Amino acid sequence: MKVTLLGTGAALIDPDRRHTSLTIQIGDAAYMIDAGTGATRAMIGAAINPLNVRALFLTHLHFDHTADLPVFVLGSWMSDRRGALPVYGPEGTREMCAHLFEGGAFDVDIRARAQYPQRQGNLEVLRPDVSIIQPGLIHEDDRVRVTALPVEHIPSEICRCYAFRFETDTKSVVFSGDTRALPEMVDFARGADLLIHEATFPEEAIAFRAKNGIGTYSHTSPLQLGEIARDAGVRQLVATHIGHWDSTNPIVRKLAAKHMPVEIMGPDLLDRVAADIRTNYDGPLQIARDGLTLYV
Ligand SMILES: [Zn+2]
Ligand SMILES: [Zn+2]
């Protein structure tokens, strides 16, 4: 399995980190998880053919995990993909797709391009084949089994959120999605060859957000992530969904001022977050960056 992190940032707009997306390649088959902004462009940049993507799996419907979906679908339509894209997502995914394409946000574009015969031959691409995720096994084919674990990040009456485990006969990769630290993750990630888990904010930023009412603080701190990775006995850990606290960009710092204590921001925090994770976990560890490729 080859894993490529296309985007590794949280929800603010950050010139150094795209929004969240990754691919898992097994032979000539690719699987896409989340579709944050820039994902399709990054995929092509990483020499992964979007037409080889067999299915898209959405952890939840925050825009930093979904906003590239129309780019991916419209780009695939123009690139002569055949067949509707299977999309696995929480309740709301079907409505989101219905509002995007024919009769939706991109209706004018679609009607303009569909005047040409070549573009009329694969209109089915604009109608993603949505399956609503239920906990447990959600997808199985000749390459991989995918199971979903409900996680806690957004109130579930607004959007259910999921982690995914991808398994072949010999290897396993787990992606947490966005979530607070969950005891259930330990069993779900047990023995994984690779755990890619969010570590959106260090402890003091989570405390800051809990106090200031700026947005969700249901995220996992580095100390908690180390405990999860240790208890699950994973073979390799990547911390991702980095909440911009490593940015030196003056605009990002300005725009982040209400989201976290800006005085702690900077690249040196990468070392401290890694050290916090290592307080509890002593296996192979990387802090994610866009384009990072891992083999298991
Ligand atoms: Zn997110
Ligand atoms: Zn989120």
pTM: 0.97
Q: What is the CATH number of domain 2-295?
A: 3.60.15.10
Per-residue pLDDT of the chain (296 residues; tens, 9 = 90+): 999 999 999 999 999 999 999 999 999 999 999 999 999 999 999 999 999 999 999 999 999 999 999 999 999 999 999 999 999 999 999 999 999 999 999 999 999 999 999 999 999 999 999 999 999 999 999 999 999 999 999 999 999 999 999 999 999 999 999 999 999 999 999 999 999 999 999 988 888 888 888 777 789 999 999 999 999 999 999 999 999 999 999 999 999 998 889 999 999 999 999 999 999 999 999 999 999 999 99
**Nearest ligand atom owner, CA of 61:** 2
Of the candidates 35, 71, 37, which has an alpha carbon nearest to the alpha carbon of residue 55?
Answer: 35
**Nearest ligand atom owner, CA of 161:** 2
**Nearest ligand atom owner, CA of 34:** 1
What is the rounded distance in angstroms from the CA atom of residue 283 to the CA atom of residue 285? 6
**What separation in Å is there between the alpha carbon of 114 and the centre of ligand 1?**
34
**What separation in Å is there between the alpha carbon of 223 and the centre of ligand 2?**
20
- Sequence ranges of the domains in the chain: 2-295
